[in-house]
Amino acid sequence: MHRESDQVGIKIGMWLFLYSEIILFGGLFVLYAAYFFEHPQSFVAGGKELNRIIGALNTIVLLVSSFTVAASITAIRRDDAKRAQRLLLFSLLCGVVFLVNKYFEWGAKIDHGIYPNSETLVNGEPGLNIFFGLYYVITGLHGLHVIIGMALLAVSLFFIRSGRVSGSRYAMLDNAGLYWHLVDLIWIFVFPLFYLVL
């Protein structure tokens, strides 16, 4: 009974933490909306500078990784540790693909002088500087969350291999999965806001 109540307490703590993360990104999305209302044409122009193919690819990568993380939780609950490990390894690979894509995307923008307070943006429309400021802050913060999520998945993978996560004790993997789903959910909002802005 004591162990079960511990597991419930861990899950409630995780949900409270996720709620604070939603408030953080929610505030940034409200800020985006306020500036979009003030500079709609600049935001549309900024969105056209972003690579929609990379954005769409990253969306697919995260959606697939969310599925494999959920499948790994199902596998461990059925005491299929090997399958859970393979699914987590694939999820981690998806995270790496996402970050590599983002690295090349950021690199291309920076090489073209498109970054907050660059000469290109400072001498242009003020709304463009704001758009790319928000773009770098929000996608950078999201990228940090991807790294944290990957670390949690890697720790869960290690715990499965060492037997500390199993079909009867899987709260660590469950919470890592919740965090990863939040990372995915946030990107579902980021993608249309920046890449599909009209």
Cβ–Cβ under 8 Å, residues 81 and 168: no
What is the rounded CA–CA span in Å between residue 138 and residue 108? 18
CB contact at 8 A, 134 and 36: no
Domains of the chain (ranges; CATH) run: 2-195 (1.20.120.80)
Q: Which residues contact 103 (CB under 8 A, 6 or more apart)?
A: none
Cβ partners under 8 Å of residue 138, min gap 6: 25, 28, 32, 190, 194
Question: Cα separation of 154 and 179, whole Å?
Answer: 13
The strand pairing partners of 63, in sequence order, are none
CA-based nearest residue to 190, from 126, 128, 143: 143
Q: Tell me how far apart the alpha carbons of residues 27 and 6 are, in angstroms, rounded to a whole number.
A: 32
pLDDT tens digits in sequence order for the chain, 198 residues long: 445 445 666 778 778 888 899 999 999 999 999 999 999 999 999 999 999 999 999 999 999 999 999 999 999 999 999 999 999 999 999 999 999 999 999 999 999 999 878 888 888 888 999 999 999 999 999 999 999 999 999 999 999 999 999 888 888 999 999 999 999 999 999 999 999 987
Q: Are 128 and 197 in contact (CB under 8 A)?
A: no
Q: Rounded to two decimals, what is the model's pTM? A: 0.91
Q: 40 φ, ψ to 5°?
A: -60, -40
Tell me if 181 sits within 8 A of 69, measured CB to CB: yes
